[in-house]
A and B are shown apart, each in its own frame.
Chain A
């Protein structure tokens, strides 16, 4: 049940051109900022949006000319869209009923699915009587009860509070692992993507900017958005041996050697700040001005401008000691061994 799709959707002021593949049993996460085209991609796959070009092939069968009801693609919508006038049971039985399964059989199937998602006691309840987490499970059961060839999830956890989210995520993970077809899931939360997906596809402004497994993407981000997502400082420059020249004239020294166009990345925790120019200075040293200070876990995240705009993590004690506040001028250093360079052109 592998998916091979090229989606071409044009809107006024927006165009989407996305190549997407997913193997049977694989979970692919579409990750990107708001307005990047994630939900548009999902709607195009489901048939709720007409393609302006490209194709959708699932198991070698072209789907893009079929109306949504003939595609057999299960969708879990962001706000679930459970039918408010039907009980949980009838919501789940709706799909089988549409496939002309007799009423009693459809209800038995629905009962089984609701039991499987742990809602056996709630079958008679109307959607408005269910909690957010329960509604999410009903929506999942409803999509799976149609025996779809592919499963699409639009921000499946976005509507939940933090605690429910944790439980539901683990629960969802189990069900996605048990599902035999391809799954495409849309999220703007990197944690959801890392926890649920086998492979990430990063979309920005309607284009795929990076794909890969979680380890590759977190280690080697290729755009500012991804770098911010995984919490790295990221720059692009030209490497000559262990020196990388950045466009604005600044040069960073790296431990390993590389040549040509590269990305350079280092974590904020690798940046050290000093009140005055450090003695016997490490080679990556530059003057910087604090622009913002915010909490980041146990540390403080300091945003700095200067020849190299950078984010640094320091302990609250160090921040007090240095008197870090917006406008304060400091010296920043990064050890060459902390700076990783990797080729920009793959």
Chain B
């Protein structure tokens, strides 16, 4: 559930970001691309700590958010979504950026000469062309968000019904009820295998 929300967040933020990275020339593009991929190499727990530092009640943005809007992210369901999106976003951005680079930018030019604004060209020409890439990226993103553990437990904690995700439940169950942990693990395994099987064709022949 939170994984799906996180995927939606990633799509909303990640697709435009990928478009900017693939199509626009600007100073510091390499730096931005490096920053986007940082969560891939960062241990998730460290990511969670980073999120706490930024969005925590005393964090860089968190304090301002709390005072201005009364919004506090850590240890809430929204916090889970943020943590999962943070970790899963690179998968989407990399997949979509790759698809965009593979797609011929001149189709956008052709659309422009036919009277399409940039947004229309993107929506009616580019997006359909890269749809397989976006779909693959979204599923990868969803799978990563589903399995997310470290950043979630650090940033959002582990409150049943509020911020407890499947992997957190498995970890907890392992200490109290091994059978329940095995069942939950099997469910996660089945879901992962199903997704991988459905996507294999797209990876082999994108």
Q: Are A142 and B106 in contact (CB-based, < 8 A)? A: no
Contact status A98-B120, CB under 8 Å: yes
| In the bound complex, CA of A143 to CA of B116 (Å) | 13
Bound-complex Cα distance A320 to B129 (A):
60
Are the C-beta atoms of A99 and B129 separated by less than 8 Å?
A: no
The answer to whether A84 and B129 touch across the interface, beta carbons within 8 angstroms, is: yes
Stretch in A72-80, A171-179, A253-261 touching the partner: A72-80
A68 touches B112 (CB 8 A): yes
A85 contacts the other chain (CB 8 A): yes
In the complex, whether B110 has a CB less than 8 A from a CB of chain A is: yes
Q: Contact between A69 and B107 (Cβ–Cβ < 8 Å)?
A: no
Given known contacts A83-B125, A85-B129, A77 and B106 CB-to-CB distance under 8 angstroms = yes
Q: Does B115 contact A (CB under 8 A)?
A: yes
Which B residues between 137 and 154 are near A, CB-CB below 8 angstroms?
Answer: none
**Contact residue among A46, A85, A99 (Cβ-Cβ distance under 8 Å from B113):** A46
Hey, which chain B residues are within 8 Å of A71, CB to CB? 113
Q: Which of A47, A48, A67, A94 contacts B114 (CB 8 A)?
A: A94
* Known A94-B124, A98-B120: A81·B107 in contact at CB below 8 Å: yes
Tell me whether A146 and B106 are in contact (CB under 8 A).
no
The chain B residue with its CB closest to the CB of A152 is B113
Size of chain A's interface in residues, with CB distance under 8 A? 24
Identify which of residues 51-86 in chain A touch chain B, using a CB-to-CB cut-off of 8 Å: 67-75, 77, 81, 83-85
| Complex CA–CA separation, A95 to B120 (angstroms) | 11
Q: How far is the CA of A72 from the CA of B114 in the complex (A)?
A: 7
- B113 pairs with A68, CB closer than 8 A: yes
Q: Are A73 and B111 in contact (CB under 8 A)?
A: no
Q: What is the distance, in angstroms, from B110's C-beta to the closest C-beta of chain A?
A: 4
> Given the complex, which residues of B lie within 8 Å of A146, measured CB to CB?
114-115
Give the interface centre of A69, A84, A142, A146 by most chain B CB atoms within 10 Å.
Answer: A69
Q: Which chain A residue lies CB-closest to B110?
A: A81
Is the beta-carbon distance between A77 and B110 smaller than 8 angstroms? yes
Query: What are the residues of chain A within 8 A of B113 when measuring CB–CB?
Result: 46-48, 68-69, 71, 73-75, 143
Closest to B112 in A: A68
- Looking at the complex, which one of A68, A72, A74 makes contact with B109 (CB distance below 8 Å)? A68
B-facing mask of A251-279, CB < 8 A → 1, else 0? 00000000000000000000000000000
B106, B114, B124: which has the most chain A beta carbons within 10 Å? B114
Complex interface: chain B residues within 8 A of A72 (CB): 115
Q: How far is the CB of A183 from chain B (nearest CB, A)?
A: 15
Contact A95 B114 (CB under 8 A): yes
B206 within 8 A of A: no
Q: Are B109 and A48 in contact (CB under 8 A)?
A: yes
Give complex CA distance A94, B108 in Å. Answer: 12
Inter-chain contacts of B124 with A (CB < 8 A): 94
Which single residue of chain A is at the shortest CB-CB distance from B109? Answer: A48
Nearest-neighbour CB distance to chain B for A99, whole angstroms, equals: 5
Q: How far is the CA of A318 from the CA of B168 in the complex (A)?
A: 94
Chain A interface residues toward B at CB < 8 A: 46-48, 67-75, 77, 81, 83-85, 94-95, 98-99, 142-143, 146
> Contact residues of B with A, CB < 8 Å?
104, 106-107, 109-117, 120, 124-125, 128-129
- The 3 residue pairs across chains A and B that have the minimum distance between CB atoms: A98-B115, A95-B114, A81-B110
